[in-house]
Structure 1
Amino acid sequence: MIQLIPEPYKRALLSAIDNADMDSIQKIIEGNRIDVNSYNDDSFSPVIMDVLTSFGIKNEEERLKILLFFLNRGADPNLNCKSGYNSLHIAVQQKKLVRSLDLLLDFGGDVNATDQNGSSVAYWAIQSFPWRTEGEVRQQHLKVIGKIMMLGADLDQKNKFGVAPRDWLKRSPEDLRLLVEQCEKLNPGYTESSTVQPDFPTNYRFPKIVRHIRTNLIPVRGEAETIEGEMLRGLDILQDEAYRNGNANYSKNHKAFAEFILENLTTFTKTNKDDIKRITDAVKKLMKAEYPCLEDDVYDYLTDQICIFHLKINSNEFGTSKKWWKFW
């Protein structure tokens, strides 16, 4: 059973986090005995992830103080959000959050925990962490990677695309390769986290069809061959970009995915006018790079529409699943 932030206190708590109001945060949490591992049901992210990703916190010293408050009271850095990644996966990919990552590691962060694509914290540390930093900042990054290695990072653990951290290490700068080599010679031990991930609620009308498309129509790597497979793959990418990065890396390819979804859901299967309007309104929320869509209902609704598309396109009226063409 997932523990949610109690509704009477949710808005006040999230507002206090965005304003870096430590006194109010403490009063709300302790005065109302709120579980520090509670989830925000707007995005189904643990509250510690809301601290980590808050755009309202401009000063990283303030962010560290708030994170430390939650961690000292038992917040688990390994808890996943609904999209399948945890706070460490966010922190390891953002240069400004290197000190937050360091802190999360001190409180039991699992360096081999994987995100929804099977990529570990260690993977992201090797893949992108030290590439474009210099001087004191680079040394800080390398220090954290050293800590990741000494916590038992598995550099041969492959993600679902068949790529392991060691594959990236071969192309890494010399100072990083030397650091990793030194750490591995010490044979560090690894302790797997005991985190039990919650079962997230969904509003899917067709969970079996969603499972079928994800399992059979979306490949491990590259583009799907069917229209519905590629629509769901694109929707997953759009949701991940919004939740993980706040659309910081939103590009013309992301917008093209949204346009592809909109075109196919509204023009191919004799969709009625009311549904066309609702689909259009939902997809338009995914086209605004400056306003990341963090509404689960939007993604759930469009997932259902993709399932309906799948049912229609495989009926006698529409024949077998159609292949799609490269659209950018």
Structure 2
Amino acid sequence: MSAFTFIPQQYASLLSSHIAKGEFDSAQKIVDQNAIDINAYIDSEDYSTLIIEVLTTYGCKDEEERAEMLRYLLEKGANPNTYCKNGYNALHIAVQQDKLVKCMNLLLDYGGDVNLADPNGGTVAYWAIQGFPWRTEGQERENHLNTIEKIMMLGADLDRKNKFGVDPRKWLEHTSEDVKELVAKCEKRNPVYKPSHTIVPKFPTNYKFPEIVEQLRALIPPTGSAKTIEAEMLRGLDILQDEAYRNGNINYNQQHKDFAQFILLTLTTSTVFDDKEIKTISSNVKKLMSAKKPYLDDDVYDYLTDKICVYYNHQNKKENAKKKWWQIGK
């Protein structure tokens, strides 16, 4: 039996369609008239929640309407800390988008946990201090500063390092004086953190070699290159997926393209795959090489992850072939 709760399909597809078009009144009617579990997942592919659907829809032309729909869900008990399959919750998404500052504040007002981390170990404090006030002025800057103050007063841990060994306090060294002064003032007030006790569930994957994926991810260090070429390819693929899913490739740069090129060259110039597979690998990697077209489906990332694992298995077989029988496994 599944440990996850889903919105019934006949309602989920309608809700998804209305939210995608920004038809929030119609979405509310479905929720109200059918006693929809507001915290159930809307699909079994991305394991997205209604909150995340509202935050990420491109069909919403008015940010006030988006915020009102979000408030409606939160007042009905929607949990802002629920994770989707890609390892993010609503706060991780909202803090990345300037237009979602008002939504971000609503999430914080309704129990958003400021110390829950995204897949790379980054918290909302990390992303807010890193990017919120930069290149802004006037009322927009004031809104950003107010949100940082709220995050701090909810007990944000500035010393929590992400998987690359960088913490929010490190970003303070590079930010403006008004942010530094604001953070210092908040810390002197000794804010109290109230954890939500949210646990990231273990979502099912479509990987053919989940144990190898876990093994390779364990070889990716907080800083510097991974310990094996396969782990480094997986690190690059994770970064490409993270940028597409969370930011829509807003921050896509030459480094991201270099990661894709590295994966492409490593896999296609090896002797592991035949010509047909090389053609398919090339086609899939090229989908990740456009800053203007973020790839938002799992299939390409899952496929390339599997190919990295096949490459890893092949390399291990080659190494074992060189060993005496008593050395295999060492």
Do Structure 1 and Structure 2 share a fold, with TM-score over 0.5? yes
Which string of whole-angstrom CA distances, capped at 9 and with x for unpartnered residues, describes residues 11-30 of structure 1? 32122112221221012223
Supply the distance in 2 between the matched residues of 1:310 and 1:208 (Cα, whole angstroms).
12
Distance change >3 Å, CA 222–CA 4, structure 1 → 2: farther
1:287 lines up with 2:289 in the alignment: yes
Range with bigger deviation, 40-49 or 237-246: 40-49
Alignment correspondent of 1:300? 302
Alignment correspondent of 1:156? 159
Q: CA deviation at 1:61?
A: 0.5
Q: State the Cα RMSD in Å.
A: 2.1
For 1:108, which of 106, 111, 125 is the aligned residue? 111
Alignment correspondent of 2:100? 97
For 1:183, which of 167, 186, 189 is the aligned residue? 186
Which string of whole-angstrom CA distances, capped at 9 and with x for unpartnered residues, describes residues 282-328 of structure 1? 223223333322222221221111101000012137979xxxxxxxx
Which string of whole-angstrom CA distances, capped at 9 and with x for unpartnered residues, describes residues 205-235 of structure 1? 211111111112x222232353212211111
- In structure 2, stretches of 5+ residues that fail to align are 323-330
Native 8 Å contact 2:87 2:118 kept in 1:
yes
Distance change >3 Å, CA 77–CA 5, structure 1 → 2: same
1:194 lines up with 2:197 in the alignment: yes
Matched residue type, 2:85: K
Matched residue type, 2:115: N
Supply the distance in 2 between the matched residues of 1:277 and 1:6 (Cα, whole angstroms).
39
Range with bigger deviation, 281-290 or 73-82: 281-290
Report SS of the residue matched to 1:26. helix
Q: CA deviation at 1:240?
A: 0.6
1:214 lines up with 2:207 in the alignment: no
For 2:317, which of 315, 318, 326 is the aligned residue? 315
- In structure 1, stretches of 5+ residues that fail to align are 321-328
Alignment correspondent of 2:325? none
Matched residue type, 2:62: N
Which string of whole-angstrom CA distances, capped at 9 and with x for unpartnered residues, describes residues 164-218 of structure 1? 22222233322222222222222111100132333211011211111111112x2
For 2:252, which of 250, 255, 262 is the aligned residue? 250
1:173 lines up with 2:162 in the alignment: no
Alignment correspondent of 1:128? 131
User: Paired residues, what number?
Assistant: 319
Supply the distance in 2 between the matched residues of 1:171 and 1:301 (Cα, whole angstroms).
38
Matched residue type, 1:190: Y
Matched residue type, 1:248: I
Distance change >3 Å, CA 93–CA 34, structure 1 → 2: same
Supply the distance in 2 between the matched residues of 1:168 and 1:2 (Cα, whole angstroms).
37
Which string of whole-angstrom CA distances, capped at 9 and with x for unpartnered residues, describes residues 132-167 of structure 1? 211111111111111111111122222222222222
Native 8 Å contact 1:258 1:283 kept in 2:
yes
Task: Return structure 1 stretches of 4+ with deviation > 3 angstroms.
Answer: 317-320
Q: Percent identity?
A: 57
Greater RCO (Cα-Cα under 8 Å, separation 6 or more): 1
Supply the distance in 1 between the matched residues of 2:139 and 2:251 (Cα, whole angstroms).
26
Matched residue type, 2:251: N
Alignment correspondent of 1:36? 38
Distance change >3 Å, CA 283–CA 185, structure 1 → 2: same
Alignment correspondent of 1:10? 12
1:61 lines up with 2:64 in the alignment: yes
Q: CA deviation at 1:101?
A: 0.6
Supply the distance in 1 between the matched residues of 2:291 and 2:10 (Cα, whole angstroms).
31
Which string of whole-angstrom CA distances, capped at 9 and with x for unpartnered residues, describes residues 104-136 of structure 1? 000100111111122211122222211221111
Supply the distance in 2 between the matched residues of 1:288 and 1:5 (Cα, whole angstroms).
34
Alignment correspondent of 1:324? none
Native 8 Å contact 2:163 2:221 kept in 1:
no
Distance change >3 Å, CA 291–CA 2, structure 1 → 2: farther
Which string of whole-angstrom CA distances, capped at 9 and with x for unpartnered residues, describes residues 61-112 of structure 1? 0110111121111111111222222211121222111111111000100111
Distance change >3 Å, CA 213–CA 56, structure 1 → 2: same
